[in-house]
Amino acid sequence: MLDKYLLPVAQSILQPIAKQCVKHNVSANQITVVGFVIGILSVGFIVSQLYLLGLVCIVLNRIADGLDGQVARLTKPTQSGAFLDIVLDFIFYQAVVFGFAFSNPEFTFWGVCLMLSFVGTGTSFLAFSIFAQKNNIEKIDYPSKGIYYLTGIAEGTETIVFFVLCCIWPMYFNWFAAIFCLICWQTTVFRIVFGVKQLNAIDTIK
């Protein structure tokens, strides 16, 4: 929901760093992989209840996620790079929740519920992008993205806000997770309804 407002700001901030990366022959894929590794380190910290160290890794991962796209656009965006970025992002999101679920037995139930809700948001997002590509549906809100970016209440920005809250106040994880789980399912339902309507309209024309 907030991505379309904050992404341009983040891109302008990261632009000078991206130019330096290109100057020193640092590729977008290298940044993607390094950012993913740093993000996965957060899981170990979170499981060990070192939540603030986990938060540092999460923030660095998100900076890398914005930076790799900037570098790709300054050089040559590739389908393989977009694919790698998307896959590792979704693994990272699930992994962080996995870390919380196992950091405290009291967090396990809502952690698992939230992981399931992430399956809903992720599959509805990716499934529609396949058909959007097949039917040449334009990426109006996010033209620079490698695939059709189907919006919703729970997007990248909201997910990171959730992670930040959980790392700063882990004692309230269950409350944060329950609320965000509901938001994720609302997003999933919206995407399913939107996707079915869009594709039904295309099927009717054909």
pTM of the predicted structure, to 2 decimals? 0.87
Our CA dihedral for 103, 104, 109, 110, rounded to 10 degrees, sits at: -70
Q: Distance between CA 38 and CA 32 in Å, rounded?
A: 10
Place of tokens 């977008």: 28
Q: Which pLDDT does position 161 carry in this prediction? A: 93
**Structure token digits, residue 164:** 């930040």
Kindly report the CATH number assigned to the domain that includes residue 47.
1.20.120.1760
pLDDT for 156: 79
> Which pLDDT does position 87 carry in this prediction?
93
Domain count, the chain: 1
Report the 10 Å Cβ neighbour count for 31: 25
> Which DSSP string corresponds to 39-91?
HHHHHHHHHTT-HHHHHHHHHHHHHHHHHHHHHHHHS---HHHHHHHHHHHHH
- For position 62, what pLDDT does the model report? 94
Centroid of chain to Cα 184:
13
Residue 187: per-residue pLDDT: 92
User: What pLDDT score does 146 carry?
Assistant: 54
Tell me the three state secondary structure of residue 139. coil
CB 68 within 8 A of CB 31: yes
Residues in the chain: 206
Residue holding tokens 């509901």? 182
Where do the H-state alpha helices sit in the chain? 3-23, 28-47, 51-74, 79-103, 108-134, 156-168, 173-205
Interatomic CA distance for residues 27 and 13, integer angstroms:
19
Neighbour count for residue 37 (Cβ, 10 Å): 13
| Tens of each residue's pLDDT in the chain, 206 residues | 666 777 778 788 888 899 999 999 999 999 999 999 999 999 999 999 999 999 999 999 999 999 998 999 898 888 899 899 999 999 999 999 999 999 999 999 999 999 999 999 999 888 888 888 788 776 655 555 555 666 777 787 899 999 999 999 999 999 999 999 999 999 999 989 988 888 888 878 76
Q: What is the pLDDT of residue 11?
A: 80
Range(s) of the domain holding residue 13: 3-205
